[in-house]
A = this chain, B = another copy of it.
Protein backbone atom coordinates (compact mmCIF):
# COMPACT_ATOMS: atom_id res chain seq x y z
CA UNK A 1 0.00 0.00 0.00
CA UNK A 2 1.34 3.40 -0.95
CA UNK A 3 -0.14 6.72 -0.05
CA UNK A 4 0.87 10.26 0.62
CA UNK A 5 -0.86 12.66 2.91
CA UNK A 6 -1.12 16.05 1.38
CA UNK A 7 -1.56 19.14 3.49
CA UNK A 8 -3.88 21.77 2.06
CA UNK A 9 -3.02 25.31 3.04
CA UNK A 10 -5.19 28.37 3.58
CA UNK A 11 -5.28 30.34 0.32
CA UNK A 12 -4.90 33.64 2.19
CA UNK A 13 -1.32 32.68 2.92
CA UNK A 14 -0.10 33.02 -0.63
CA UNK A 15 -0.64 34.96 -3.84
CA UNK A 16 -0.06 31.93 -6.03
CA UNK A 17 -0.27 28.42 -4.61
CA UNK A 18 3.33 27.30 -4.07
CA UNK A 19 2.13 23.74 -4.31
CA UNK A 20 1.11 24.18 -7.92
CA UNK A 21 4.58 24.42 -9.44
CA UNK A 22 8.10 23.21 -8.99
CA UNK A 23 9.30 26.76 -8.32
CA UNK A 24 6.65 27.19 -5.65
CA UNK A 25 7.63 23.96 -3.91
CA UNK A 26 11.29 24.99 -4.05
CA UNK A 27 10.44 28.32 -2.42
CA UNK A 28 8.86 26.52 0.51
CA UNK A 29 11.46 23.77 0.84
CA UNK A 30 14.44 26.07 0.46
CA UNK A 31 12.70 28.75 2.50
CA UNK A 32 12.67 26.30 5.39
CA UNK A 33 16.39 25.65 4.97
CA UNK A 34 17.11 29.36 4.76
CA UNK A 35 15.16 30.22 7.92
CA UNK A 36 16.81 27.30 9.71
CA UNK A 37 20.29 28.36 8.55
CA UNK A 38 20.35 32.08 9.09
CA UNK A 39 17.17 32.88 11.03
CA UNK A 40 14.12 34.89 10.11
CA UNK A 41 15.63 38.36 10.61
CA UNK A 42 18.66 37.71 8.41
CA UNK A 43 16.65 35.97 5.72
CA UNK A 44 15.61 37.86 2.57
CA UNK A 45 13.80 36.92 -0.62
CA UNK A 46 16.93 37.89 -2.52
CA UNK A 47 19.02 35.34 -0.66
CA UNK A 48 16.30 32.75 -1.14
CA UNK A 49 16.18 33.47 -4.87
CA UNK A 50 19.94 32.94 -5.07
CA UNK A 51 19.65 29.60 -3.25
CA UNK A 52 16.98 28.44 -5.65
CA UNK A 53 18.52 29.94 -8.77
CA UNK A 54 15.65 32.23 -9.52
CA UNK A 55 14.88 35.92 -9.12
CA UNK A 56 13.49 37.89 -6.22
CA UNK A 57 10.50 39.01 -8.27
CA UNK A 58 9.50 35.41 -8.96
CA UNK A 59 9.21 34.73 -5.24
CA UNK A 60 7.04 37.78 -4.77
CA UNK A 61 4.61 36.20 -7.21
CA UNK A 62 4.01 33.45 -4.64
CA UNK A 63 4.28 35.23 -1.31
CA UNK A 64 3.55 38.85 -0.57
CA UNK A 65 6.14 38.95 2.21
CA UNK A 66 8.72 37.05 4.18
CA UNK A 67 6.34 37.09 7.11
CA UNK A 68 3.61 35.33 5.11
CA UNK A 69 6.12 32.71 4.06
CA UNK A 70 6.97 32.16 7.72
CA UNK A 71 3.31 31.71 8.61
CA UNK A 72 2.86 29.34 5.68
CA UNK A 73 5.77 27.24 6.92
CA UNK A 74 4.73 27.11 10.57
CA UNK A 75 1.12 26.48 9.59
CA UNK A 76 2.28 23.55 7.50
CA UNK A 77 4.07 22.28 10.57
CA UNK A 78 1.01 22.60 12.84
CA UNK A 79 -1.16 20.83 10.30
CA UNK A 80 1.41 18.07 9.90
CA UNK A 81 1.62 17.81 13.69
CA UNK A 82 -2.13 17.60 14.05
CA UNK A 83 -2.24 14.85 11.45
CA UNK A 84 0.48 12.93 13.30
CA UNK A 85 -1.43 13.35 16.52
CA UNK A 86 -4.66 12.05 15.02
CA UNK A 87 -2.86 9.18 13.38
CA UNK A 88 -0.91 8.19 16.49
CA UNK A 89 -3.84 8.36 18.88
CA UNK A 90 -6.93 7.28 16.94
CA UNK A 91 -6.69 3.66 18.07
CA UNK A 92 -6.17 4.46 21.72
CA UNK A 93 -8.86 4.39 24.35
CA UNK A 94 -7.01 5.71 27.39
CA UNK A 95 -7.03 9.50 27.18
CA UNK A 96 -3.90 9.68 29.32
CA UNK A 97 -2.13 7.53 26.79
CA UNK A 98 -3.21 9.97 24.07
CA UNK A 99 -1.67 12.87 25.98
CA UNK A 100 1.48 10.85 26.50
CA UNK A 101 1.80 10.40 22.75
CA UNK A 102 1.07 14.06 22.18
CA UNK A 103 4.01 15.02 24.39
CA UNK A 104 6.32 12.68 22.50
CA UNK A 105 5.22 14.15 19.19
CA UNK A 106 5.62 17.74 20.33
CA UNK A 107 9.20 17.00 21.38
CA UNK A 108 9.97 14.79 18.34
CA UNK A 109 10.75 11.88 20.63
CA UNK A 110 9.95 8.52 19.11
CA UNK A 111 7.96 6.11 21.20
CA UNK A 112 9.80 2.81 21.58
CA UNK A 113 6.95 0.81 20.03
CA UNK A 114 6.39 3.12 17.10
CA UNK A 115 8.15 3.04 13.79
CA UNK A 116 10.34 6.07 13.42
CA UNK A 117 8.40 8.92 11.88
CA UNK A 118 10.06 9.83 8.65
CA UNK A 119 12.45 12.75 8.49
CA UNK A 120 10.78 14.20 5.48
CA UNK A 121 7.32 14.61 4.05
CA UNK A 122 6.58 16.21 0.70
CA UNK A 123 10.31 16.85 0.44
CA UNK A 124 10.21 19.00 3.55
CA UNK A 125 13.07 18.73 6.04
CA UNK A 126 11.24 18.08 9.29
CA UNK A 127 14.27 18.56 11.48
CA UNK A 128 14.96 21.99 10.03
CA UNK A 129 11.27 22.75 10.29
CA UNK A 130 11.19 21.81 13.96
CA UNK A 131 14.11 24.18 14.51
CA UNK A 132 12.17 26.97 12.84
CA UNK A 133 9.16 26.31 15.04
CA UNK A 134 11.38 26.49 18.14
CA UNK A 135 13.22 29.63 17.07
CA UNK A 136 10.74 31.60 14.98
CA UNK A 137 7.16 30.37 15.34
CA UNK A 138 6.10 32.96 17.87
CA UNK A 139 7.11 35.72 15.45
CA UNK A 140 4.21 34.57 13.29
CA UNK A 141 1.72 36.01 15.78
CA UNK A 142 3.76 38.46 17.87
CA UNK A 143 3.05 41.34 15.51
CA UNK A 144 1.06 44.50 15.52
CA UNK A 145 -1.21 43.05 12.83
CA UNK A 146 -2.07 39.82 14.66
CA UNK A 147 -5.77 40.69 14.59
CA UNK A 148 -5.96 41.16 10.81
CA UNK A 149 -3.94 38.01 10.27
CA UNK A 150 -6.19 36.14 12.67
CA UNK A 151 -9.30 37.33 10.85
CA UNK A 152 -7.88 35.68 7.75
CA UNK A 153 -7.63 32.44 9.76
CA UNK A 154 -3.87 32.36 9.47
CA UNK A 155 -3.50 30.87 12.95
CA UNK A 156 -6.19 28.24 12.56
CA UNK A 157 -3.77 25.30 12.30
CA UNK A 158 -2.18 26.27 15.60
CA UNK A 159 -5.55 26.74 17.25
CA UNK A 160 -6.80 23.45 15.84
CA UNK A 161 -3.86 21.59 17.32
CA UNK A 162 -4.25 23.27 20.70
CA UNK A 163 -7.96 22.56 20.63
CA UNK A 164 -7.41 18.92 19.97
CA UNK A 165 -4.97 18.78 22.86
CA UNK A 166 -7.43 20.65 25.05
CA UNK A 167 -10.11 18.05 24.28
CA UNK A 168 -7.74 15.26 25.28
CA UNK A 169 -7.07 17.08 28.53
CA UNK A 170 -10.78 17.52 29.06
CA UNK A 171 -11.27 13.80 28.45
CA UNK A 172 -8.88 12.96 31.26
CA UNK A 173 -10.46 15.39 33.68
CA UNK A 174 -13.75 16.98 32.57
CA UNK A 175 -13.94 19.29 35.57
CA UNK A 176 -10.53 20.89 34.93
CA UNK A 177 -11.22 24.56 34.22
CA UNK A 178 -8.15 25.49 32.17
CA UNK A 179 -7.86 22.89 29.44
CA UNK A 180 -7.29 25.40 26.64
CA UNK A 181 -4.67 27.37 28.51
CA UNK A 182 -2.96 24.20 29.62
CA UNK A 183 -2.90 22.97 26.03
CA UNK A 184 -1.32 26.13 24.65
CA UNK A 185 1.06 26.21 27.61
CA UNK A 186 2.26 22.68 26.85
CA UNK A 187 2.89 23.52 23.21
CA UNK A 188 4.65 26.78 23.96
CA UNK A 189 6.64 25.31 26.82
CA UNK A 190 7.80 22.40 24.67
CA UNK A 191 9.32 24.95 22.32
CA UNK A 192 10.83 27.67 24.40
CA UNK A 193 12.23 25.24 26.92
CA UNK A 194 13.93 23.60 23.94
CA UNK A 195 15.24 27.01 22.94
CA UNK A 196 16.44 27.79 26.47
CA UNK A 197 18.01 24.35 26.76
CA UNK A 198 20.06 25.05 23.64
CA UNK A 199 20.91 28.71 24.12
CA UNK A 200 20.24 29.83 27.69
CA UNK A 201 20.54 26.58 29.61
CA UNK A 202 20.58 28.16 33.06
CA UNK A 203 16.87 28.84 32.56
CA UNK A 204 16.24 25.09 32.52
CA UNK A 205 17.15 21.89 34.32
CA UNK A 206 18.17 20.13 31.13
CA UNK A 207 21.41 19.31 29.36
CA UNK A 208 22.04 21.55 26.31
CA UNK A 209 22.12 18.49 24.08
CA UNK A 210 19.91 15.49 24.43
CA UNK A 211 17.83 17.10 27.12
CA UNK A 212 14.63 16.40 25.21
CA UNK A 213 13.85 13.36 27.33
CA UNK A 214 14.39 15.37 30.52
CA UNK A 215 12.08 18.02 29.11
CA UNK A 216 9.55 15.26 28.50
CA UNK A 217 9.69 14.33 32.19
CA UNK A 218 9.08 17.95 33.13
CA UNK A 219 6.12 18.41 30.79
CA UNK A 220 4.58 15.10 31.81
CA UNK A 221 4.87 15.95 35.47
CA UNK A 222 3.48 19.44 34.92
CA UNK A 223 0.53 18.12 32.92
CA UNK A 224 -0.47 15.18 35.07
CA UNK A 225 0.11 17.03 38.33
CA UNK A 226 -2.35 19.67 37.20
CA UNK A 227 -4.86 16.99 36.20
CA UNK A 228 -4.54 14.94 39.37
CA UNK A 229 -4.73 17.86 41.73
CA UNK A 230 -8.27 18.75 42.87
CA UNK A 231 -9.85 21.32 40.60
CA UNK A 232 -9.83 24.94 41.63
Contact = CB atoms under 8 A, between A and B. Distances in A.
Interface of A: 38-39, 41-42, 135-136, 138-139, 141-144, 146-147, 150, 155, 158-159, 162-163, 177-185, 188-189, 192-193, 195-196, 199-200, 202-206, 215, 217-218, 220-222, 224-226, 228-229, 232
A222 B226 contact: yes
Please name the 3 residue pairs, one residue from A and one from B, whose CB atoms are nearest each other, closest first: A39-B144, A225-B229, A225-B225
A205 B179 contact: yes
Contacts of A150: 199-200
B188 A155 contact: no
Q: Assembly of this chain: how many copies? A: 2
B146 A142 contact: no
Contacts of A192: 138, 184, 188
Contact of A226 (B135, B136, B221): B221
A99 to B, nearest CB: 15
B142 A136 contact: yes
Contacts of A225: 225-226, 228-229
A229 B232 contact: no
Contact of A188 (B42, B139, B188): B188
Given A136-B142, A184-B192, 14 more contacts: A38-B144, A41-B143, A146-B199, A150-B200, A159-B203, A177-B205, A177-B217, A178-B217, A181-B193, A184-B196, A220-B232, A224-B229, A225-B229, A228-B229
